[in-house]
Structure 1
Amino acid sequence: FDAADAMFSAALTGQEAIEIRRWVTGPESGARGRRRGLAARLSDVASYDEEGGRAIGEAVEAAHALPSDGWLQRLNEGDPFGPVERLLAAVRGLVYARDTNGSSDAGYGLETELAEPDPALVEAAGPAAVALDALMRPLVTLGRRLEAVLAEAPDWMDGPARARIEGAIASLGWRTDTVGAWLALIARIGGPADTEYVDWLAVDRVEGREYDVGLHRHWLDPSKPFAKTVLEPAHGALVTSATLRAGGDWDVAEARTGASHLQRAAQRFEAVSPFDYAGQAEVLIVTDVKRGDLPALANAYARLIVAAEGGTLGLFTAIRRLRAVHARIADRLAREGLPLLAQHVDPIDTGTLVDIFRDDPRTSLIGTDALRDGVDVPGDSLRLVVMEGVPWPKPTVLHSARRLAGGGTAFDDRIVRARLAQAFGRLIRRADDRGTFVLLSAASPSRLLDAFPPGTPVSRVTLDEAVERVRLSLNARMRHEAPANAELGRP
């Protein structure tokens, strides 16, 4: 669902627009870089095919209407250049004008629905659409001419040249689809809403600093285009996941995968887990760490990591809290001889962080969604997973629309179950793994606990009890005995 959501979405933002400008024109005047524009990459085609060469020139000229270097500073100064920058300036102005919470100085991004746009946005939409249409037309023409050149197969076209032109055709197709989606999004400004889509305006920020501005469009149900584009043309498709149902029923699984949009009913198969979760793992819900108490949260993480002697994966729902906790506990853990790695803090890519974590059983790693969904660390290096709280979805414009269409609270519950199941799934990766999953949230609804595998012991405990259980689980692991709940008994 999430992959389809990203694949079939559209974003007319400054960052996306300047990327296409650079792809068409190459480096800005005086700038250095290995990246070349269309004219340099396809110079042989331009000299061979007059119409193709003319299309390249027209595309390069039209691309200069897109944002260029320094666009964000010009928006902040109220001096946008060109029709697309003026559109983005109008977007930015409307987003801040509707910010009723007074969060202009906060570190989080801002967004608002693309409903009832103000006159400035409507006025800026027309020239921006004209500029984008002027770019799309020569790109489409160039794609047709490249296909014709391939069919003609001139003498100068050797293997590398053919591969380069085929690659250019594929890249052109992706860019023309993108610009076409932008035009459809601009047409929505001041026009009727399409119930198939969710449209909104956003100013993206991190730590109070703006880094992008633009218009966004997502499918209300991205499984529809996924089913039409991927599943329907296929002779067959296999969709597998240990968390496909995540406490729900098969109807939920089929809705998320797009199978419910197919004419033929999907065949269902469920394999029994090979793991003994009752004997290999337990879930502890800590009830005395107050929400919003950052010192208490940091203390809980530190005590649990020390009790486990490292080997901990810490999961956060907000980067700011992750960084704040890291700042409070890194030195404390270092004095215990327990290294701490942190996504969004250490200047290392996520894959390398996971590799380092995997190689040292005393190292711990904290991070956000990417670690919850994609970490595979079997063995002694991962014996404790700690989540800062119930991973409720953020109340964005997109989420609010899907929640309304998907059943309200039940929709939120499905998301949380899937996230809990994914996070718990990091813990037991093979038959001899043992470990503890700790959820630092007193307000954990019992209805969500079916996200964990059947038979998994679940207990509500204080932080002191959780620390002791983690310590006993570590000792049991070292002795290859049952986890701590077998020694203490379930409360």
Structure 2
Amino acid sequence: MTDTPDLSAALARLPALVAGGGVAWWAEAGRVEKITPDAAARRARATPPLLVHGKATAARLGVEPFPSLDLLDLFAFVRPARFCLPTAHGLLDRVGLDAADDEEAAQYLHEAAAILLAELPQQQPRSLRRAARLAQTLNKAGWSWAPWLLDAFGPVLANVPAGGAGGLDIWQELPEWVDYAPPPPPDTQSVSAAEARERLARLLGRNPQGPAAELREAQADYAATTAQAFAPREAVGMPEMVLAEAGTGIGKTLGYIAPASVWAEKNGGSVWLSTYTKNLQRQLDRELDRLFPDPAEKAAKVVIRKGRENYLCLLNLEDAAQGGAARPQDLVPLALVARWAGATRDGDLAGGDFPAWAVDLHGRARTVGLTDQRGECIHAGCPHYRKCFIERSVRKSRKAEMVIANHALVMIQAAMGEDDSQKPLRYVFDEGHHLFEAADSAFAAHLTGQEAIELRRWLRGPEGGRRSRARGLANRIGDLVNDNEAGKAALEAVTEAARALPGDGWLPRLTDGAPNGSGEIFLAKVRQQVLARAREPDSPYGLECPTREPVDGLIEAARIFATGIARILEPLNKLAKALTDMLADETAELETATRSRIEGALRGLLRRKLTLEAWRSMLLDLETGTPDAFVDWFALDRIEGRDFDLGLYRHYLDPMLPFAGAVLKPAHGVAVTSATLRDLAPGKSDAAPEAAWGTADIRSGARHLPMPARHAAFPSPFDYGGRTRVLVVTDVRRDAMDQVAAAYRELFLAAGGGGLGLFTAIFRLRAVQKRILRPLAEAGLPLYAQHVDPLDNATLVDIFRSEEHACLLGTDAMRDGVDVPGASLRLVVFDRVPWPRPDLLHKARKAAFGGQAYDDLLTRLKLKQAYGRLLRTANDYGVFVVLDAQLPSRLLSAFPSSVEVRRVGIAEAVAETRGFLTQMRSGAATAAQDGF
């Protein structure tokens, strides 16, 4: 290390590495070499290089991760809570450097490191002192960047006092949240169409009377229609409900923000804007900058809400730091989390401003594992309660005008009956086509080994000397009932009765034929039945079977286990009553913090009580028969051939029934919107739109309301016929992976990148990725793949969006979660017809919802969603290809009627793709030159 302030010369002596598919660039001593992955791996093992994303780099070289100086870690330390794509080009862009290619990027990594290190001494004094303490702690732990950080701090270190937690105790400096009196109920004034149009015009920065407004008349009509969901309701259980399908390009986000914001402003209430994906939550947040351009005003009036399992738990961070005595390998991620916690907007570790690639690099345990994943919060008993990110978010949402939530949170809160006094009255559900599957997940019950052991840990805490941050029920609330004999006895009885649930090591014991306790004995019988009824018991994939005609002994095991669960429920109810009585009887004595702890404990007990009651009912129904409203089955889950979980599953046949009861009927107004609400099946054309709304009514829950919903459809203004092509390839065998991979390769090459490959199975994706990685790299086309690259889905999409010639492979999450406007996405290739998975739950729903027509409906919606990735703006263009000759004609109504669907051979598809995209690029270039 150098002892001068200028670190550039020392950094320049380090090697730097950038790796792609089949090639690597090594920069050292002022020169750059293009070398093979094997040669790069050998050099990297000998001398740790500068690089970006060590795990992804090692994966591209085909080796295990090796020591390095990862600039992503340096970036996260220097610029916490700041966005950066986890690629060499992404990082260089963030520090103001522009590399034309990977060769130049390798040369610039030294300069990027120097820029970041030079920023360290320029921070605010308090942040500077904490960062310096963290650097000293990390230096003792042997972090490769620590000596460089210490040199960069220079004289600052002399004034840095030692800290007991080595700088990890960020909770000492966080501000406390402010509590408010409960807000009054909102007024019930409606929003007129004129008010919605006027607000929309303001959001767009347009004069509603001027000519520019006419260009988006459909958006204004959409806003006026959505405003009907904000009218006062006429009767209890009859919300004003609007189903509004808005094709791509309508501008639905601002369209519904307009009336929602007017209603919140006029009535002093909150509107919950609910989405399915975290990506759209972030997009919604950005769109609200138009409504609240002042950051301070926006911070007061907009809040993003997610489940507790998304937010950093400060007590978990303190436990993990252990007063500065954490394991050396844990200190780097903990330090990065501590740096982030001091800069974050809201403490959201999962999808917020915490870098997702930090999870990829350092694992889940010391990053997102620091959230409250097991519901072990001790609420006001926590020393950090007044600084808790979750509590801050909850309190902000009570005063906010716009609450950006997600479907899962809305439904879980409703299912558990939480926060009744603060239950939202007005909702907008965007991505409304996902409501059915979100409800299916939220209102289901799974009695499995994994679920049961989590509940046992919640009740009993870690057992058998096992080290864990988990806290049992006695540890969390024992002091609350110490002076209450009934409560104390109930707590002891609950803890003892929980032994009926499966314990640590349950799955190996079942495999060995040595179950322990009534829960494990029941699961052993379930395993016996699943394997006995399976066609291929040794299959590497999950197995399932009906609960009918159970194997000998299963009913008796279920009956005994149900009795064991009843023995947990009895004292659990007594404990809840004791705590409830304390709130009533000791009102004058209880401090506010204690009341808050008791209320939090009661919410946790209620959730577990509902779970246990559902499990007991499921077990008893094995003997009497499954009620008509449900579908029950047994399943053995496997991951790559390894048994992972096992148990009894129950889902509603129609999950919109409980959704309507828990969410829709208590609400006063609901708008459900998406680009794909209706099913335009053959015979249900745009000319007769009401014929297509039956699907939307079923999958939104509207059919379970006493009054019909209002329907409105706004077709996309885009020229799909002129700007897209749809090709069905007829001569590629979908079961011959060499042929499928060759088709992907040639189509991606013909498009020059910008290709999204969608797959119906992970093994098919991996087979194709392995075959096409090198040829695409040799053509200068980077390839990224879900389930292969050590990057989360959102990051993969961000990288794909930023690199015009990249290609991306993915499964369902990519089909629905990709929003890539512009030339970065100009080709979508589907490996085969995306029929629904023929499992037992789908079989039951198929029988209930129309047989083959139900399969066709779901498949059309998937095709429509996938095709919708192509055109996100009016200037986009692209080709959609299905590599499956067996695509039935009745599914082609998934595509706009203006688009001709052609069935061609792969050679013609490649030629058509190349020719069409070349023509469109040429036209776009000409238009740009002409000033259009």
TM-score between the two structures when normalised by the length of structure 2: 0.50
Matching residue within 434, 439, 445 for 1:4: 439
The residue identity in structure 1 corresponding to 2:713 is E
Instruction: State which drifts further: 84-93 or 39-48.
Output: 39-48
Aligned to 1:60: 495
Q: Residues 41-440 of structure 1 correspond to what in structure 2 (within 5 A)?
A: 41-99=476-534, 101=535, 103-151=536-584, 152-153=586-587, 155=589, 157-159=591-593, 161-248=594-681, 249-440=692-883
Instruction: State which drifts further: 353-362 or 435-444.
Output: 353-362
Does structure 2 conserve the Cα–Cα contact (< 8 Å) formed by 1:55 and 1:139?
yes
Does structure 1 conserve the Cα–Cα contact (< 8 Å) formed by 2:449 and 2:523?
yes
Aligned to 1:486: none
SS at match of 1:64: helix
- Counterpart-to-counterpart distance in 1, 2:582 and 2:680: 55
Deviations 1:83-135 (A, max 9, x none): 11111110010111112x2x122222111111111222112111111111122
The residue identity in structure 2 corresponding to 1:394 is R
CA distance 1:120–1:443, change in 2 (3 Å): same
The residue identity in structure 1 corresponding to 2:670 is A
What is the CA distance between 1:163 and its match in structure 2?
A: 4.4
Aligned to 1:485: none
Aligned to 2:469: 34
- Counterpart-to-counterpart distance in 2, 1:171 and 1:377: 41
SS at match of 1:47: coil
Query: What percent identity do the matched residue pairs reach?
Result: 52
- Counterpart-to-counterpart distance in 1, 2:799 and 2:573: 47
CA distance 1:144–1:420, change in 2 (3 Å): farther
What is the CA distance between 1:164 and its match in structure 2?
A: 4.2
- Counterpart-to-counterpart distance in 1, 2:798 and 2:600: 33
Instruction: State which drifts further: 68-77 or 141-150.
Output: 141-150
CA distance 1:338–1:51, change in 2 (3 Å): farther
What is the CA distance between 1:481 and its match in structure 2?
A: 4.5
Does structure 2 conserve the Cα–Cα contact (< 8 Å) formed by 1:287 and 1:460?
yes
The residue identity in structure 2 corresponding to 1:27 is P
Aligned to 1:21: 456
How many residue pairs align between the two structures? 479
Aligned to 1:489: none
Does structure 2 conserve the Cα–Cα contact (< 8 Å) formed by 1:66 and 1:82?
yes
- Counterpart-to-counterpart distance in 2, 1:144 and 1:431: 61
The answer to which structure, 1 or 2, has the higher relative contact order (CA under 8 A, 6+ apart) is 1
CA distance 1:462–1:149, change in 2 (3 Å): farther
Aligned to 1:487: none
Deviations 1:327-347 (A, max 9, x none): 222222222222222222223
- Counterpart-to-counterpart distance in 2, 1:198 and 1:387: 31
Does structure 1 conserve the Cα–Cα contact (< 8 Å) formed by 2:679 and 2:695?
no
Aligned to 2:108: none
The residue identity in structure 1 corresponding to 2:520 is E
- Counterpart-to-counterpart distance in 2, 1:68 and 1:80: 10
Deviations 1:380-407 (A, max 9, x none): 2222111111111122111111111222
SS at match of 1:213: strand
- Counterpart-to-counterpart distance in 2, 1:337 and 1:61: 63
The residue identity in structure 1 corresponding to 2:552 is P
SS at match of 2:545: strand
- Counterpart-to-counterpart distance in 2, 1:464 and 1:374: 30
Instruction: State which drifts further: 52-61 or 298-307.
Output: 52-61
The residue identity in structure 2 corresponding to 1:262 is L
- Counterpart-to-counterpart distance in 2, 1:454 and 1:257: 25
The residue identity in structure 1 corresponding to 2:440 is D
CA distance 1:27–1:376, change in 2 (3 Å): farther
Unaligned runs of 5+ in 2: 1-435, 682-691, 926-932
Does structure 2 conserve the Cα–Cα contact (< 8 Å) formed by 1:46 and 1:54?
no
Instruction: State which drifts further: 174-183 or 327-336.
Output: 327-336
SS at match of 1:240: strand
SS at match of 1:115: coil
Aligned to 2:271: none
TM-score between the two structures when normalised by the length of structure 1: 0.93
The residue identity in structure 1 corresponding to 2:659 is F
Does structure 2 conserve the Cα–Cα contact (< 8 Å) formed by 1:284 and 1:466?
yes
Deviations 1:241-274 (A, max 9, x none): 1111132411121011111111111111111213
Q: Residues 454-473 of structure 1 correspond to what in structure 2 (within 5 A)?
A: 454-473=897-916
Larger radius of gyration: 2
Instruction: State which drifts further: 105-114 or 451-460.
Output: 451-460
Deviations 1:443-480 (A, max 9, x none): 11111111123313321121112222222233234324
- Counterpart-to-counterpart distance in 2, 1:276 and 1:191: 57
- Structure 1 vs Structure 2 CA RMSD: 1.9
What is the CA distance between 1:157 and its match in structure 2?
A: 3.2
The residue identity in structure 2 corresponding to 1:286 is V
Unaligned runs of 5+ in 1: 483-491
